[in-house]
């Protein structure tokens, strides 16, 4: 079992690992989940491009509508590249009915604010019936009392709250349109319903460190501890939605004004060169994760904002989840990345094919893979 867990646990953040362990030792469908993971590892090792295994990680967006205007996020700046909407609960149930027994974790968020979907608590409840570790990330500026109560009663495992300051001036520098006091009050609301439900839900405070808030880092951590939260300070990434579109150098130039003085939280060197690629050496998304947008469209990874780069659509083109997982674009992308990693002489032809098919994954060969 230790060899198995040594391979599996590093796939997840440390805050998630104990929950994964619980699911795989005592949860329903644990045998299917373990068998699927082991099969997936074998298929990666032998280089299969048409997979028998299912992904064991889902990123599923309940809504791509957001109530804030964060400077490095395209959700409010680009209103034409992808239609706006909220996932229908019937589509969610269809996805879970086929893939649920094999999924280990689901993140109910991507490009929008999940609490804007009124069916969020039902989605959590459905996922928990399949013993899936269920989490979401929220700016928590919108939280009706009934929604707070319902997500706790549904058994949500992790709620990550994006909160980048402890004064309104600092907080709203990045979370533009947000109200700090409202977020803090909503955290207390979640804590109240957490205690009342008896759940062990993890509340995590995500603090994106930048030059405008780094002096509040220590105070934020103290407040997080006081409120019973895990504190997760992290470096800012480059402009979201552009991570596979532009070279790393150009993206870093766009965000230089956000670099903190504290180099511990500076993700990119300030003297980065135009030819520099990302530090990520391979792509995990094509083999172990599926990203599903609110309307059932399937993106290659969480870095894709524009609809034109989608692989397929569970609502329209694919008859089943597994057929979508092995769509022509998925198979071509896996061949492309495998050829690149193996330094195969087939790579030039596959790059040509990827360009002809409009496959965004070709940019990862040029610029480096999407960073964690």
pLDDT tens by residue, 193-252:
999 999 999 999 999 999 999 999 999 999 999 999 999 999 988 877 788 888 888 888
Phi, psi of 173, deg, nearest 5: -60, -40
Reduced to 3 states (helix: H, G, I; strand: E, B; else coil), residue 161 is: strand
pLDDT above 70 coverage of the chain, percent: 98
The CA angle 128-298-14, to the nearest 5 degrees, is 50
**pLDDT for residue 256 is more than 90:** no
Q: How far apart are CA 311 and CA 325, in angstroms?
A: 9
Position 2 scores a pLDDT of: 59
Q: What is the pLDDT of residue 196?
A: 95
What does pLDDT average to over the chain? 92
Over 90: is that where the pLDDT of 176 sits?
A: yes
Q: How far is CA 348 from the centre of its chain?
A: 31
Q: DSSP H helical segments within 155-259, as ranges?
A: 168-174, 180-197, 217-226, 248-254
pLDDT at 84: 95
pLDDT of residue 215: 95
- Tens of pLDDT along 262-319? 888 888 877 788 888 888 888 889 999 999 999 999 999 988 889 999 999 998 766 7
Of 258 and 170, the structure prediction assigns the larger pLDDT to: 170
What are the tens digits of pLDDT across the range 75-123? 887 778 899 999 999 999 999 999 999 999 999 999 999 999 999 999 9
Q: pLDDT tier at 161 (50, 70, 90 boundaries)?
A: very high
| Sequence-ordered strand ranges (E) for 183-324 | 202-209, 230-235, 289-292, 297-299, 312-313
Rounded to an integer, the average pLDDT of 343-349 is 94
> What pLDDT, on a 0 to 100 scale, did the predictor assign at position 237?
83
pLDDT given for residue 318 in this prediction: 67
306: helix, coil or strand? coil
Tell me the whole-structure pTM to 2 decimals: 0.94
The C-alpha atoms of residue 199 and residue 154 are separated, in whole angstroms, by: 10
Q: What is the mean pLDDT of residues 134-153?
A: 97
Distance of CA 261 to the CA centre of its chain: 27
Q: What is the pLDDT of residue 74?
A: 83
């Amino acid at each position: 079992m230790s060899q198995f867990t040594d391979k599996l646990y590093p796939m997840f953040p440390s805050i998630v690992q104990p929950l994964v362990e619980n699911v795989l030792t005592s949860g329903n469908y644990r045998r299917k989940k373990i068998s699927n993971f082991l099969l997936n590892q074998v298929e990666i090792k032998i280089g299969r491009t048409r997979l028998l295994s299912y992904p064991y990680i889902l990123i599923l967006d309940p809504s791509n509508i957001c109530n804030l205007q964060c400077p490095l996020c395209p959700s409010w700046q680009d209103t034409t590249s992808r239609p706006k909407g909220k996932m229908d609960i019937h589509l969610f149930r269809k996805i879970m009915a086929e893939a649920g027994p094999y999924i280990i974790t689901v993140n109910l968020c991507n490009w929008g604010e999940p609490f804007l979907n009124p069916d969020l608590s039902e989605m959590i409840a459905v996922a928990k019936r399949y013993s899936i570790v269920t989490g979401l990330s929220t700016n928590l500026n919108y939280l009706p009392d009934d929604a707070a109560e319902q997500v706790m009663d549904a058994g949500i495992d992790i709620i990550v709250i994006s909160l980048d300051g402890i004064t309104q001036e600092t907080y709203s520098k990045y979370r533009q349109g947000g109200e700090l006091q409202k977020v803090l009050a909503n955290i207390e609301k979640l804590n109240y319903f957490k205690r009342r439900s008896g759940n062990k839900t993890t509340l995590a405070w995500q603090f994106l460190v930048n030059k405008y808030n780094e002096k509040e880092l220590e105070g934020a951590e103290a407040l997080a501890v006081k409120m019973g939260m895990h504190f997760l300070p992290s470096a800012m990434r480059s402009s979201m939605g552009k991570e596979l579109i532009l070279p790393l150098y150009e993206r870093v130039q766009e965000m230089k004004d956000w670099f903190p003085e504290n180099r511990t939280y500076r993700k990119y060197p300030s003297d980065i060169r135009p030819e520099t690629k990302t530090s990520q050496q391979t792509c995990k998304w094509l083999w172990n994760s599926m990203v599903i947008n609110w309307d059932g469209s399937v993106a290659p990874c969480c870095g894709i904002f524009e609809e034109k780069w989608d692989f397929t659509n569970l609502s329209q083109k694919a008859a089943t989840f597994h057929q979508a997982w092995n769509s022509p674009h998925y198979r071509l992308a896996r061949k492309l990345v495998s050829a690149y990693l193996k330094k195969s002489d087939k790579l030039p032809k596959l790059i040509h094919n990827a360009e002809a098919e409009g496959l965004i994954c070709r940019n990862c060969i040029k610029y480096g893979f999407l960073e964690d």
